[in-house]
Structure 1
Amino acid sequence: MIEEARRRAYLGAMQVATWLPRVALPFAAPSRPQLLEAPEPVVANPPPTPVVETAREAAPVAAPEQSISARVMPRPAAPTKPVAPVEAEPEAAPVPRTPVAPPPRFALQLLRAGECMLLVELPTGEPLASRDPAYLLLKDLLRAAGLPDSPQLVGEPVRWPLFAGGSMDQGPEAAREFVQGFVAARLEESAACRCLWLVGMPAVRFAGEADEEALLRELQVEGLGVAWAIPGLERLAEQPTLKADLWRAMRRVRQRWMSQNTA
């Protein structure tokens, strides 16, 4: 043991922690078995250890053996609870859109003949010329009514719609308000008018607020006074029978402006 203590002292002075003798040393202590095992190499980043399923985990679990009666006789189905029908929510009714009336299209000319004012539909959209058949027919009507056959123009023609596009309302209601306002302003600027002739359906509809049934009748229009509705000049030229009806109606109405001339 003295030799063993001395060897350990020498080894400690040389900073040798572990050593193995090649031969058995006298008076030496028996070697420890763990010192004889070779150390494992040190790896900086060891690879992940794969997970290996055991035979018990990988093997499928066998289903318990059923009896013969269980395999032959079908199992009764579990009673199902009645499902209450789901009521479908009523669809919201679509909101009806208010139909937008297209803008009417017409051209009117205001004329003055003696004691009467005439709002005349322009068949071609252009002012009446001296040689136009419609103008010649109008002169015949004025002579038959006892009025000057050379009417004077009052203002520029009224053409509708006013604008080719845009967001401005140019429907029938807007056209009626515009035409009535235009005629009322011209009546205030001129001398007294005993009767307003509405010649043609655009003049009857948008100045007199009347329809086809008002033709050859007298109308009382608020803001415009007494009006007389007659067919358009182009229609009178195409339907000669209307001239006879017009003449009969004129004999009743012409007293409005003839009485002033007689007095």
Structure 2
Amino acid sequence: MQVVNWLPRTELPFAAPSRPELLEIPEPVVVAPVVPAVVADTPVAPVVKPAERVKIEVPRPSLASTRTGAKPVEEAEETPAVVKAPIVPPPRFALQLLRAGRCLLLVELPTGESFQTRDPAYLLLKDMLRAAGLPDSPQIVGEPVRWPLLVRGTMDQGPEAARDFVQGFLSVRMEETPCACLWLIGLPAVRFAGEADAEAFNRELQIEGLGSAWAVPGLELLMEEPQRKADVWQAMRRLMARWKESNE
């Protein structure tokens, strides 16, 4: 029955005297209520803190920049850097002007030196002139045109300057003795006199101030690739009437 202490309502005969401490009524014990555990599924309202006001600092120009009119640092950084144009090295070539009948021939010198009578390139040129019905002993006109003109100096010797020089040189020579057709033999002659490239080989060009011109592959290239001679011959047959009529 879980009875710890028991006191009779009346005094029992022949009973032992009661102990005083047993007669004291103990104070009731206050038991704290048990708080149930929080269930995980129960949504918990988040604690919302009041929004903090962000302090924004506005940059202000200094007194020195206001007086001198200097731009802020942000604007200075956005200014694109100046890119310098790449330096183009001057082209290198040597050209010789020849006259055969009523035709002028601007020929690339394969070795950079003047033609010699037994040079393979010069012998090939003589064969081409005979096939075209022109004198096979062309006359040399002036000194070879070598570019660049100066080894040192500040003068512009780029591609545009080379083109102006070669065209000016030909213009003066053609004013002295007009020609029926100008042969441009070799890529430097086609590029700096005719303002064209290798795709213009075996074609007729119309050059402002110089008239009609015929673009021909270089003599060195014709010796290295003999199959090109057939295309040269076909183009020559189409243009042959131009200088033959002039010779009659």
Does residue 98 of structure 2 align to residue 111 of structure 1?
yes
> Bigger shift: 139-148 or 93-102?
93-102
Pairing 1:252–2:225 present: no
Q: Of 198, 217, 236, which aligns to 2:222?
A: 236
Larger Rg: 1
- Give the Cα separation in 1 of the matches to 2:73 and 2:101: 75
User: Which structure 2 residue ranges, 5 or more long, are not aligned?
Assistant: 1-51, 60-71
Provide the C-alpha distance between the structure 2 equivalents of 1:144 and 1:240, rounded to a whole number of angstroms: 16
**Which amino acid letter does the alignment assign opposite residue 235 of structure 1?**
L
Amino acid at match of 1:243: K
Write out aligned runs for 1:55-70 (5 A): none
Stretches of structure 1 lacking an aligned partner (at least 5 in a row): 1-78
Distance 2:140 2:175 in 1: 16
Q: TM-score, normalised by structure 1?
A: 0.66
**Cα shift at 1:259:** 2.2
Q: Does 1:193 align with 2:179?
A: yes
Runs of 4+ in 1 over 4 A off after TM superposition: 85-88
For 2:187, the aligned partner's letter is: M
Secondary structure of 1:164's counterpart equals coil
Cα 1:85–1:212 change in 2 (3 A) is farther
CA distance in 2, matches of 1:255, 1:119: 20
**Alpha-carbon deviation of 1:167?**
0.6
Aligned counterparts of 2:85 and 2:55: Cα–Cα separation in 1: 47
Counterparts in 2 of 1:166-205, with a 5 A limit? 166-190=153-177, 192-205=178-191
* CA-CA distance at 1:100 after TM superposition: 2.5
How many Å separate the matches in 1 of 2:152 and 2:115? 27
Identity level (%): 67
Alignment partners' CA distance in 2, 1:176 and 1:260: 28
Within a 5 Å distance, the mapping from 1:74-223 to structure 2 comes to 82-84=55-57, 89-90=74-75, 91=77, 92-190=79-177, 192-223=178-209
Alpha-carbon distance between aligned partners in 1 of 2:155 and 2:140, rounded to the nearest angstrom: 29
| Residues 171-225 of structure 1 deviation map (CA, whole Å, 9 limit, x = unaligned) | 00000000001111111122x3000000001000111111122110111111111
SS of the residue aligned with 1:159? strand
The answer to which of 144-153 and 251-260 deviates more is 251-260
Give the distance between the partners of 2:238 and 2:139, measured in 1 at CA. 25
Equivalent position of 2:31 in the other structure: none
Distance 2:246 2:114 in 1: 30
Q: Deviations over 1:220-259 (max 9, x none)?
A: 1111111000000000000011001110111001110112
What is the TM-score normalised by the length of structure 2? 0.70
Distance 2:110 2:225 in 1: 15
- Residue 115 of structure 1: CA displacement? 1.0
CA RMSD of aligned residues (A): 1.8
- More divergent stretch after superposition (208-217 vs 114-123): 208-217
The answer (yes or no) to whether the contact 2:108–2:218 under 8 Å persists in 1 is yes
Aligned partner of 1:82: which letter? Answer: K
1:83 deviates by: 4.0
**CA deviation vs aligned residue, 1:62-115 (integer Å, no higher than 9, x gap):** xxxxxxxxxxxxxxxxx9962448696151211121223210000000000001
Task: For 1:140 and 1:81, locate their aligned partners in 2 and report how far apart those are by CA, in whole Å.
Answer: 92
Q: C-alpha distance in 1, partners of 2:57/2:137?
A: 87
